[in-house]
Structure 1
Amino acid sequence: MIDFRYHIVSLISVFLALAVGIVLGAGPLRDYIADELSGQVEQLRAEKDALREDLDVAEAALQGRSTFLTEAAPQLYDGVLEGRTVAIVTLPETDSAVAEAVEARLVQAGAAISGRVAVAPGWTDPAETAFRAGIAENLVAQLNPAPDASTPADHVLAQALGQSLTLRDPGAPQRRSAEADDILEILRTSELVTESSTVEGPAYATVVVGPNDHHDEPLTDAELTEAETTNEAYLVLAAGIAETGEGSVLAGVDGGAGTLLAALRSGSDTDDVAITSVDSVGTITGQVTVPLALAATIAGEGAQFGLEESADLVLPEPVTLDLPDPAAFAPGPVGADDQSTDDADDDQTDDTDDDQSADAEQSADADQADG
């Protein structure tokens, strides 16, 4: 059994250790500890200052590169998009500053911006699938050319959006067609799109700007599944728009699994439709590349451009474009092809009747001669 003396000895030992620590800390070890701590603080302060200086140098270099690219862009473009109007389509969660920067580069390349349209979240909402199918069914009669009967509803809507921005009035090709106005109004009142800026006239080409969606942390399985479903819908949208006008570019990022261009460049259901893309859209490099990629697409040389490993080329090869023919994007009123076919059949019938009349007259003359 432990007696009272054991507790006394234990307490004395504790107090002795404490006293020794106080004596040493206040005496021989005081200066050593203080000097050691002061040295560590000074070292950390020096490292912090060095890192700050490195950061300032890196930021200055980055700003210098941005300034250089901004100033050099007009010479690099050499008016490659002169005489062309371009419409910009932004996807949900796209940074407005990035879209404005892309627009500024297009203007530097000589393009005029006909308007900017923002796709609403309802475009990809799974709960709105039946609603979108109904809108697509109502729009088919307005489309020219009309989609095949087997075309999925979301692809019809994508073609409709593209045509609403590019179709021209056959009687005045510098104006948008009545069908284009009607389609855009239906999409707008259905809350599938909004206008970031008023669509003033028809566009020859389009640029679709996606979100700068780099992920700092890996996505969970549920988040990745949701992102893949949304990106698939965006690619259908981009593919449908690319089928209208004379060219289209999808600008976004390839930041790995779950990002838009990663879905495009890794292969998808849109492999049979050429979609030109530009990555790193949040940087000056990607923004400067967009007009060049659009010109390359119009020239039939579209590809995947950018700085990521998934890109085919960093920059497109220089191209020279002829001025566009506005009449080529004014296919006439809906149903004109059917009417032309009917007219051709009528003409053929009239020709047949004329031939038969001529044969009858020739036969009558022959009989009269024999008589």
Structure 2
Amino acid sequence: MINFRYHVVSLAAVFLALAIGLVVGTAAANGPLAENLNDQVNKITDEKQQLRDSLEQSRAELKKNADFATEVAPMLLTNKLQNKSVLLIKVDGSDSGDVNTAAEGVAALLGTAGAKVVGTLTVKEKLTAPSSSAILLDTAESSAPPSISGALPNQADGVDTSAALLAAVLVGKAGTPQVEGTRTVLSAYESNGFIGLDGDFKAPAEAVIIVAGAPATGKDANDRKAALLTLTGRFDLAGRVVVAGLSYGGLVSSVRGDASVAKSVSTVDNAVTAYGQVAAVMALVERFGGKTGHYGIGDGASGLLPKTASVTSGS
């Protein structure tokens, strides 16, 4: 009769056989498996190094291109905007750091061209928010100088009214004195969180370069895009405008997609690069010469740079 001891011994034998089988099987497969894993690791390591080398090469090429653009800029721009006054506008957003860097590059090149930057105005996200329309209207009505208030758009669009007011006090023909009450207008919009200011703004500018980044996102993105296009249009009515985008998209694509605005506002879609910054200033030279163009590498661009242009006398 089979007793308990027999069952214990049998179970022990089964587990022992399983253990021996696992050891033997692992030992048999260990060589090929380990070799295969080593091959895969080595392949991934090689691919990673190739990508790293390619990235470093691309960075080196970009630096060379930037250095080249910086070196040729004086030959292309020196004195082309002599004694011209320019307003810089930056559009705040998720990539404000890159927008600031691009704006600094454009400002430096404007100096090379002989232009004077009267100041830098930053468009805050609050200004383009649909919910701001009512307070924008209130701000315009309460701060507009008597000489301008009667000429403001008579409608319920806070962005349009405010853009018209800001353009009226910040942009004008050469030699035009500053509009009385300009500082009051700017302070009102700044204190309400609609704009940021950097500069003296002691005289109106003859032209504007708008530096814009990535397109707006979120449920109100289309409204914000429309607001920026409205602002651009109002400054265009007051003077010459160039939109310098960090990439194709956002304000650049909005301008190029509007047949009316695209006829009088020039665009550059790669202002994140030194080439794009040179192109933006060259495009402004071209605007003073009465021409409009679209430059960069995105849809609608006619080339990387405008043809060398000169400001016509009396323009």
Q: Do structure 1's residue 155 and structure 2's residue 160 form an aligned pair?
A: yes
TM-score (norm 1): 0.71
Determine if contact 2:171/2:207 at 8 Å carries over to the other structure.
yes
Seen in structure 2, the aligned counterparts of structure 1 residues 274 and 80 have a Cα distance that, compared at 3 Å, is: same
Of 228, 243, 264, the match for 2:237: 243
Determine if contact 1:142/1:183 at 8 Å carries over to the other structure.
no
Of 109, 112, 133, the match for 1:108: 112
How far apart are 1:277 and its partner, in Å? 1.7
In the alignment, the residues of structure 2 paired with residue 145 and residue 297 of structure 1 have an alpha-carbon distance, to the nearest angstrom, of 29
Residue of structure 1 equivalent to 2:3: none
Residue of structure 1 equivalent to 2:207: 205
In the alignment, the residues of structure 1 paired with residue 82 and residue 265 of structure 2 have an alpha-carbon distance, to the nearest angstrom, of 23
In the alignment, the residues of structure 1 paired with residue 304 and residue 314 of structure 2 have an alpha-carbon distance, to the nearest angstrom, of 27
How far apart are 1:177 and its partner, in Å? 3.5
Instruction: After superposition, give the CA deviation of every residue in 1:135-194 in whole Å (9 maximum; x if it has no partner).
Output: 33342733299346469543232122123223479xxx3753324344334433444322
Seen in structure 2, the aligned counterparts of structure 1 residues 34 and 73 have a Cα distance that, compared at 3 Å, is: same
Determine if contact 2:289/2:311 at 8 Å carries over to the other structure.
yes
How far apart are 1:239 and its partner, in Å? 0.7
Identity %, equivalent residues: 23
Determine if contact 1:239/1:274 at 8 Å carries over to the other structure.
no
How far apart are 1:102 and its partner, in Å? 1.9
Residue of structure 2 equivalent to 1:37: 37
Seen in structure 2, the aligned counterparts of structure 1 residues 230 and 167 have a Cα distance that, compared at 3 Å, is: same
Determine if contact 1:90/1:116 at 8 Å carries over to the other structure.
yes
Instruction: After superposition, give the CA deviation of every residue in 1:53-89 in whole Å (9 maximum; x if it has no partner).
Output: 2221111111111111111111122432122121101
Unmatched segments (≥5 aa) in structure 1:
326-371
Of 145, 151, 164, the match for 1:146: 151
Determine if contact 2:152/2:165 at 8 Å carries over to the other structure.
no
Determine if contact 2:233/2:261 at 8 Å carries over to the other structure.
no
In the alignment, the residues of structure 2 paired with residue 145 and residue 253 of structure 1 have an alpha-carbon distance, to the nearest angstrom, of 37
SS at match of 1:199: coil
How far apart are 1:10 and its partner, in Å? 9.8
Matches within 5 A, 1:197-346: 197-211=199-213, 213=214, 223=218, 225-245=219-239, 247-253=240-246, 255=248, 259-267=250-258, 271=261, 274-322=264-312
Residue of structure 2 equivalent to 1:75: 75
Of 174, 177, 180, the match for 2:179: 177
How far apart are 1:248 and its partner, in Å? 1.2
TM-score (norm 2): 0.82
Instruction: After superposition, give the CA deviation of every residue in 1:1-57 in whole Å (9 maximum; x if it has no partner).
Output: xxxx9xx9999777645522312433x443333333323322222222222222211
Aligned-residue CA RMSD (Å): 3.4
* Structure exhibiting the larger radius of gyration computed from Cα positions: 1
In the alignment, the residues of structure 2 paired with residue 145 and residue 67 of structure 1 have an alpha-carbon distance, to the nearest angstrom, of 50
In the alignment, the residues of structure 1 paired with residue 223 and residue 130 of structure 2 have an alpha-carbon distance, to the nearest angstrom, of 9
In the alignment, the residues of structure 2 paired with residue 175 and residue 56 of structure 1 have an alpha-carbon distance, to the nearest angstrom, of 52
In the alignment, the residues of structure 1 paired with residue 130 and residue 124 of structure 2 have an alpha-carbon distance, to the nearest angstrom, of 13
SS at match of 2:135: helix
Seen in structure 2, the aligned counterparts of structure 1 residues 148 and 272 have a Cα distance that, compared at 3 Å, is: farther
